[in-house]
Amino acid sequence: MKTLTTLTAVAILAMASQASAEFQLGDRYVDNDGDLIADIPTDESELIDPSTLIFAYTPVEDPAVYAEVWQGFLDHMSEVTGKNVQFFPVQSNAAQIEAMRAGRLHVAGFNTGSNPLAVACAGFRPFAMMAAEDGSFGYEMEIITYPGSGIESVEDLKGETLAFTSETSNSGFKAPSAILKAEFGMEAGSDFEATFSGAHDSSILGVANKDYTAASIANSVKGRMLDREVVTEDQLVTVYTSQTFPTTGYGTVYNLTPELQDKIREAFFSYEWEGTALAEEFGRNGEDQFIEITFQDDWSVIRTIDEANGVVYECN
């Protein structure tokens, strides 16, 4: 198993301040306090106070499973806010961002890589992340293959096909693209071919079933799938593991009333995890609480990866 070299890690982190300075919100949002997220409107006519809050978790292959996992938490949010709360299964990162931008999504967990786009183009205000009891958090990007594939190192990907998840995913596209180019001098289209599965669990299943020769994935998703026995250890081989990245960020759309946003925050940080379906599912990754985060600080390395990839947040 190969890990991210110190040189590459330092180079990525050293660019963080530059990426923060260049990050810009879409034209419909303002950031007067300089925290890189959309300000809550001061004009009351621009605020919304819906009777039903719509919540969406980052896209997964089987949304029905996660609807059940999240139900207890959504019941708690309903009690704290006094609102009905409904789970909205999304099929792609792009659809999730568009739903928030269009006003159809109020509270969400956006995956690591799509957080900057959601912040810039959908008015997403992230404030929470799952973490372990000691406050540690995050996951690693892995490049995986199956036994006997002939892929024993990253260099062996030359001439092969690597499955990404989607272009908005950090570990499913952005981080591996930047790292493969910076550390190995390899780019899609010239050194290897790229295909897209749409989701981490689809990529993992695809490798396990030998539909994909290799894939870049979030090992937190792999861990949960192994624990549920959707796949087994002997079906997968890891040939690369990255540095640790922040995981799914949770927050609200910018134009909910300040009072409602405060209550939603309260729901996250007052939730009792013990004995819940949420704890059973995400405890597989060692996560058992929500902790407070800031987009400005905790997503600096992700913005830097976007900068290295030449990503432009176009908000049409």
How far is residue 202's CA from residue 62's CA, in Å, rounded to a whole number?
10
- Is residue 284 domain-shared with residue 161, that is, in the same domain? no
Confidence class for position 16, pLDDT limits 50, 70, 90: very low
Whether residue 74 is found in the same domain as residue 127: yes
3-state SS, one letter per residue, for 39-77: CCCCCHHHCECCCEEEEEECCCCCHHHHHHHHHHHHHHH
| Pairwise CA distance, residues 18 & 11, whole Å | 12
CB count, 10 Å around CB of 198?
18
Residue with more model confidence, 60 or 254: 254
Residues 239 and 255 in one domain: no
pLDDT surpassing 80 at residue 238 = yes
Q: Are residues 152 and 209 in the same domain?
A: yes
Q: For residues 127 and 269, state if they share a domain.
A: yes
Complete DSSP assignment for 264-293: HHHHHHH---TTSHHHHHHGGGT--EEEE-
| Banded pLDDT at 267 (limits 50, 70, 90) | very high
Residues 6+ apart with CB under 8 A from 271: 73, 76, 278, 290
Domain check: are 17 and 85 in the same one? Answer: yes
Task: Read off the pLDDT of residues 170-228 as tens digits, 9 standing for 90 and up.
Answer: 999 999 999 999 889 999 999 999 999 999 999 999 999 999 999 999 999 999 999 99
**What's the confidence (pLDDT) of residue 63?**
77
Give the alpha-carbon dihedral of 79, 80, 83, 87, to 10 degrees.
-80
pLDDT at 264: 98
Tokens (6 digits) for 48: 């919304």
When pLDDT is cut at 50, 70 and 90, the band that residue 305 belongs to is confident
Q: 126 lies in a domain?
A: yes
- Say yes or no to pLDDT of 1 above 50: no
Query: 148 and 122, same structural domain?
Result: no
Say what the pLDDT of residue 70 is: 97
Residues in the chain: 316
CA distance 118 to 101: 8
What is the extent of the structural domain holding 202? 139-245
DSSP state of 256: B
**Domain count of the fold of the chain:** 2
The yes-or-no verdict on residue 2 having pLDDT over 70 is no
Handedness of CA 288, 294, 297, 303 (dihedral sign): positive
Q: How far is CA 139 from CA 34, 105, 232, 261, in A?
A: 28, 26, 19, 28
Give dist(CA 154, CA 241) in Å, integer.
10
Position 270 in a domain: yes
Residue 201 is part of a domain; what is its CATH number?
3.40.190.10
Give the C-alpha distances (Å, rounded to integers) separating 259 from 51, 236, 264, 266.
14, 47, 9, 11
CB 290 within 8 A of CB 269: yes
In 3-state terms the chain splits into helix, strand, coil percentages (rounded to 5) of: 40, 20, 40
Tell me if 314 is assigned to some domain: no
For the cut 60, the answer to whether the pLDDT of residue 11 exceeds it is: no
Report yes or no on 72 lying in a domain: yes
Mean of the pLDDT values across residues 58-86? 92
